[in-house]
Amino acid sequence: MLTPLYIIFAVIIALALAQWLWIILGNIKKPALVVSTEEQDDLGIIDILTKKINTNGKVWIVIGIIQTIASILWFGDILRRVQIWWFIPFLIILEGIKNIARGFKDIKFSERLWHTPTKIVKRYKTPAAAVEAFIDNIIFGGVIGIIGCIMLQNSRRFVKKNLEEFEQIENDFVREQNQYR
């Protein structure tokens, strides 16, 4: 049985790691861009999406850390009680690691958007990634993973709502890149 001391210890470690990651990942600066007034509206929508994706990435990392730490603590308790269920914490650890990787992937994508605003529509047009994350976290990750899924769905909804603007931004960028070749 998990004692209250283990639970308090796990919460303190998870909060400390979350705060540390939030500080480190929060210090990532977007590059300064010099743009004309016509492009400012397009960059405003990119800025909003970048912030959404970056925040979502940070949340996925925190969720993954909490899942991993909780399942490590749970693993010791499971081994003492019921030895047939020993594999469940391993599945949760794997889901936690997958969520951490998902978070870093989102942060990297949000940084890339400032340099090359492409593949936005492709990434968010189909619900495959959101459905996969939702099913994985329901089955393996527990209720806490639903928070990241909601934020992912929020970013997806934002792109779908402004689909024409994002398609125009991508087309303009590709046209501009082909012009310089």
What are the structural domain ranges in the chain? 4-22+42-173
Measuring CA to CA, which residue among 142, 143, 151, 45 is closest to residue 103? 151
DSSP letter at 143?
T
- Closest Cα partner for 70 from 145, 131, 20, 152? 145
The mean pLDDT value for 72-79 works out to: 66
Predicted confidence (pLDDT) at residue 79 exceeds the cutoff of 60? no
Q: Which residues of 66-93 are buried (b: 16+ CB within 10 A; e: fewer)?
A: bbbbbbebbbeebeeeeeeeeeebeebb
Any idea which residue has 């303190």 for tokens? Answer: 12
pLDDT at 113 over 60: yes
Q: Identify which has the larger pLDDT, 84 or 153.
A: 153
Give the Cα separation of 15 and 108 in Å (integer): 23
Average of per-residue pLDDT values in the chain: 78
pLDDT band of residue 30 (cuts 50, 70, 90) is: very low
pTM over 0.75: no
Report pLDDT for 67: 85
In 3D space, the residue among 24, 32, 34 whose CA is nearest the CA of residue 54 turns out to be 24
